[in-house]
Amino acid sequence: MSKNLTALVEVALFAALAMVLSFIPDFMGWFNPSFGAIPLVLISLRRGSKYGLLAGLIWGLLHFVLGKVYYLSFAQVVIEYILAFLAMGLAGYLAPSFQRALKEKGERTQALGLAFLAAILAVFVRYLIHYIAGVIFWSSYAPEGMSAYWYSFTVNGTAGGLTLLVVLIVLGILVPTSPRFFLPNK
């Protein structure tokens, strides 16, 4: 199989896996962590930004196919289900320096730092987008007397923080134990 096609098949698989993880019951509502962010950061660090962004786009679009979109308006849906999910692929921009460090025996710690930085970038930008959407579109859900800014910050800050936490835990385990996952030979 050509290298491109192999990467595309992996992107489809990881986007599907992300969507499956999005079905974990969200007992905390909008405060819930987004477990699908785990496979998305992994494929972005393995294949780089082009494929990472494609995986994010597919993950976002799968919400439409499976009827998991919370619709308030056209602009809100484009911002939160296309732009925000696309942003997860930003982790891939650090893939080249991450993989370079990973190949050097003495730079494992630096590699882990770059993987963490990639996760922080992707999750931060995604939840910044949800925060902005929260202020603009979700303010009517704020409790009596709470400002739209503070409401959106508590909701999306918690969800973003928990999402980052689960991604960092998985990277902290996988980067040291399975470095070859991040260095594809095809």
Provide the binding-site residues for ligand 218, judged by CB under 6 A.
30, 70, 80, 130, 133-134, 138, 151-152, 155-156, 159
For the bound state, the minimum distance from the C-beta of residue 12 to ligand 218, rounded and expressed in Å, comes to: 20
- Secondary structure of 152-174 in HEC code, one letter for each residue: HHHHHHHHHHHHHHHHHHHHHHH
For the bound state, the minimum distance from the C-beta of residue 88 to ligand 218, rounded and expressed in Å, comes to: 11
For ligand 218, which is the closer residue by CB, 12 or 141? 141
Q: How far is CA 142 from CA 137, 153, 157, in A?
A: 11, 11, 15
Would you say 121 and 163 are in contact if contact means Cβ atoms under 8 Å apart?
Answer: no
For ligand 218, which is the closer residue by CB, 18 or 95? 18
Would you say 164 and 120 are in contact if contact means Cβ atoms under 8 Å apart?
Answer: yes
For ligand 218, which is the closer residue by CB, 82 or 174? 82
- Could you give the angle at the alpha carbon of 65 between the alpha carbons of 61 and 71, nearest 5°? 75
For ligand 218, which is the closer residue by CB, 112 or 159? 159
- The residue whose Cβ lies closest to ligand 218 is 134
